[in-house]
Amino acid sequence: MTRDADRYFDDLYKHSDDPWNLRNGWYERRKRSLTLAALPRERYRNAFEPGCANGELTAELATRCDALLAVDLHERAVHAARERVAHAPHVRVEQCAVPREWPTQSGPFDLIVVSELAYYLDDSELETLAARIADTLSSDGTLLACHWRWPFAEALQETTKVHALLDTRCGLTRLVHHEEADFIIDVWSRDARSVAQHEGLL
């Protein structure tokens, strides 16, 4: 992540702990609902959410996980996220810079959620992200990626390129592809079975 991107986040969080209106905006609330609905399993043992921002998605993921680690680069975001999930003792929120700092010791993870993060990474960091995911995802693990599609000055990558790289580098089977004008959600897993197959309906 570039220094320009660091300054961009610093400036955003100077004015608000919710600079993208994650808390109240219908766009964000709807996107979270779609994100949660796209997960193929009802519950996960140990999840990881890098780039958690102020913890709005974290709080909802927490209802589906036995343990959840959420991290963000920015101190104010981490503080806001900790407040948001203070009621959930099985959730930890830490400050770190992914993918360079990756909580390998906290894995393996059976769910990794990369939401609105990967397009801030340069080519080398994006390759590292994919490698870290592949190394720490459990044998039955799920990866979900969700990213805004419209161009903006701070983005170093196009969303379609980000998702294509994750598709080719992580060695997973894609289970869900949801595409709208504004964003893309993809879900991959080491377990190639559909939800119906997993529940023995087929």
What are the average pLDDT values for consecutive 10-residue runs of the chain, which has 202 residues? 59 68 89 98 98 96 98 93 97 96 96 97 97 97 98 93 98 98 98 93 93
Q: Which tokens sit at 52?
A: 């958690």
Residue 89: the pLDDT is 98
Q: Where are the domains of the chain?
A: 3-198
DSSP, collapsed to helix, strand or coil, labels residue 115 as strand
Q: Which tokens sit at 16?
A: 């608000």
d(CA 47, CA 74): 20
Residue 8: the pLDDT is 63
Residue 13: the pLDDT is 64
Residue 4: the pLDDT is 56
Domain 3-198: homologous superfamily in CATH = Vaccinia Virus protein VP39 (3.40.50.150)
Predicted confidence (pLDDT) per residue in 152-173, tens digit: 988 999 999 999 999 999 999 9
Residue 14: the pLDDT is 64
d(CA 179, CA 182): 8
Contacts of 145 (CB under 8 A, 6+ apart): 114, 115, 118, 162, 163, 166, 184, 185, 186, 187
Contacts of 152 (CB under 8 A, 6+ apart): none
For the chain, state the CA radius of gyration: 16
Contact by Cβ (8 Å): 156, 120: yes
* Residue 196 identity (one-letter amino acid): A
Contact by Cβ (8 Å): 157, 127: no
* Residue 104 identity (one-letter amino acid): T
Residue 153: the pLDDT is 87
Predicted confidence (pLDDT) per residue in 9-30, tens digit: 666 666 677 776 778 899 999 9
